[in-house]
Amino acid sequence: MPAYRPPQIPMSEVTPREIYLSRRSFMGSATAAGLAISGAGSAFAAPLMAKSSDYKVSDKLTPKEAITTYNNFYEFGVNKEDPSQNAGAFKTTPWSVKVDGLVGKPKEFGLEELMKMPLEDRTYRMRCVEGWSMVIPWVGFPLVALLNQVEPLGSAKYVSFETVVRPEEMPGQKGLFQALPWPYVEGLRLDEALHPLTLLAVGLYGETLPNQNGAPIRLVVPWKYGFKGIKSIVKISLTEKQPETTWKNSNAREYGFYSNVNPAVDHPRWSQATEQRIGEGGFFGGNRKPTLPFNGYADQVASLYAGMDLKANY
């Protein structure tokens, strides 16, 4: 895989960071870990200390209100407003993520240890398979930094992810007519997981991740449709065989394993040629934009799929 060179975007083209970072000036030398775990639930958003990075786009940021109230998180309900309304009782501490499978040093990482990873501010375009998109200022660390600590074996070819199952706190996981089988599972090819753009996010807009957005830790793969970004992760396993994924298992005709953003491959029920950027021209208003191959990250990731039929491998 060729070396990745992040785009050099002039800071003058990016929404000023002081808008959402000024709230953190009081922190001084406090550690990110201590603040991150000092409050549980979406009612308390602890500021995070993170370094700026070159992983930015010049697009206008989606308002925080839209990012935190318009969500797909079926564990809390199938409607877009359900997660923000139903996730308040979800407990994110204590928390740990088990990393096992084809690794030399399997390990269970506590949340405190994860929050001590070098955090970065990264602004990514995000595209949902339903046709809407956002531009989100994430806080997190590259997945490769975590995987390097467990030393993947040469036989490892894929990475699988699993979310938590807590029906007493996640109303979408209980009842007779559940939308999906639980736990929610996802997967990446190992080279996708090791790509520097692939992020484990622990915050957005400079604060700890709200419950409805996947607290306390979630996956972000900006060149793929949003359902690949599994939330509230409790397990990561390295495997030789392609892992099961929830939406592919539920409807393989509509949701493939790769799920790369591709305007040339329509969803069976709607076109993927354009997208609606939420928050521009009002909460849901504004003109539709052309969908970019790989969500605009083709220069960075297209080489991962050289020689593949991207229509067959959707």
Q: What is the CATH number of the domain that holds 185?
A: 3.90.420.10
For the chain (314 residues), the mean pLDDT of every run of 10, in chain order, is 36 37 33 35 72 93 96 97 97 98 98 97 97 97 98 98 98 92 98 98 98 98 98 98 97 96 94 92 69 98 97 93
In a domain, 2, yes or no: no
The answer to whether residue 314 sits within a structural domain is: no
Query: Is 313 a domain residue?
Result: no
What pLDDT is recorded for position 244?
98
With respect to residue 4, please indicate whether it lies within any of the assigned structural domains: no
Residues 6+ apart with CB under 8 A from 42: 84, 87, 88, 90, 210, 211, 212, 215
Residue 23's contacts (CB-CB under 8 Å, 6 or more residues apart) are 47, 206, 207
User: Is position 6 within any domain?
Assistant: no
Question: Structurally, how many domains does the chain consist of?
Answer: 1
pLDDT confidence of residue 168: 97
Residue 1 lies in a domain: no
Length of the chain: 314
Which pLDDT value is given to residue 301? 98
> In the numeric block, which tokens belong to residue 45?
């958003």
**pLDDT score, position 287:** 74
Q: Within a domain: residue 271?
A: yes
The residues near 187 (Cβ < 8 Å, ≥ 6 apart) are 158, 159, 160, 161, 242, 243, 244, 245, 257
What is the extent of the structural domain holding 22? 11-305
Q: Decide: residue 101, CB within 10 A, 0-12 exposed, 13-18 middle, 19+ buried.
A: buried
pLDDT value of position 44: 55
The verdict on residue 165 lying in a domain is: yes
Q: Return the pLDDT at 282.
A: 54
Task: Quote the CA–CA distance of 49 and 243 in Å, as a whole number.
Answer: 34
